Structure 1
């Protein structure tokens, strides 16, 4: 149970109201919150094969209706979500994870949101779903080593808007700039606060290196970084972060791009992941002032499997346009203490 101080400081309204961490949420908790706060809408959220967040909307009609949706989820057409699901046998089910419940920060109508898992018609997890592949890998790791992997993501992106001529910044000199030199700081801070209210473990956000003008449009780069959480939750957080940044940018009438490379000679946008192994709440990578044998073994594994990791992690062709010297982008399979070259 969280301490009173921790609950009162939590930006997540459900944690405050229920007085417990999200991982302890029960169906009764979610139903009670919906009833006590007169929540009329529920959205089931899930990630399709294109990596974007999908939505299924429900108008809550009764306790029995809400109970059924929270317990059983709903049927969806898998062939419209994943290229590997055949239309001749495409029924899938999306079933919500109670621990993921949050209030939609954008909806005028109070709306509960829940992230979902995919299940097949036999009631088992959809083995081919990317999220299930990750969960299976996590389970196998824990069975073999007794450790779980935690990860934190860094999400970089560009905002496009009409050029603002006041307080210009030199190209490639935007890193950690403050307003008024840093443009669209409000998009960054609004996104950060929304993500925190949704239960995401955010670390900080800042202006990034990229900053240039092209065709009358000003391109400014920003970054949101998270805290280490279970690797499956880290993946969810990145999907939610893209959704939030797009929503906030849209509300300001500007565009956002997560493309790895939008212009030759300008800083690309990375999606970095930091990882560690945890056992019993203890970080197995660190021992005083040095790395543990476990950490060195994992580093060796990353180096050995760099090619296959690149194939899975860099599916967009523009990823490889980003990998050039002198842009803080990797150009060699190596590791170092603090090397950003």
Structure 2
């Protein structure tokens, strides 16, 4: 057993590859059952349950044919959501490179502000990708005191202990955008990635876990194991400012990370046999890059049982190296908590290699 695998063993993680009845997961059929168990568990204990019967329609409300100096067409799309009791709408941008000669792969970027790809939009379209830009707070405010002002309004039962948290709400918004992207003929519908940073990295993982139309989830500076984390701890997440990102059940009984019936490897495993790209930084005080690597390794058996490779790496993770052999990749960048140019280029390299 190598050093990283020994560390995983020492963290005493909940068993990924064992059914609730105690049977080991030894084949694809067993994994299908186990995957449904994990989805149910994470909905009720972690992210919350998404309300049903929310209908969506879309309207193009603006077109710029000369975006980025004429290199791209930028469309502004309005998402209109409604059920029998309420309605809400938000906007996103779809940027299509004009140079593409084939169906265009896509990055659906959950962003903190109005800067497309953090200001790197031109580089990304120059590499042949379409970009969906959505500011997460347009989907739903990042504020527990404003819980019913956005998409959260579709679940107003505050007594429910498994009501959806903000991460599930933001992921639902991204999934509705995916509904629209499936209608755009210029796009390669089999190559749509969802990408986010920090809490929006968790959103990207949850989005891809729940919506199998995404070929790749990119989690920037997030996704580390809760057990044994050397950065932001499970206890930190229970603070007033962050606890509403998750369902209320997560913090019940004043439990700590070791009491959880899951850990981050469960979430990553739900994306198998598709692709996951994890990125970390050497001086990130919010996310523990080493524990991100362990998450990927601990999730790998789910990919392997489906005939794929998980995360392939050595014990020493080197900065500025893309570990890209398997369906889980990892890129470590020198620096702090940030999603920047080096990260984007590593992800684009991974997508090009795997054709995803």
Output the TM-score relative to the length of structure 1. Answer: 0.30
Larger radius of gyration: 1
Write 1 or 2 for the structure with the bigger share of strand.
1
Output the TM-score relative to the length of structure 2. Answer: 0.29
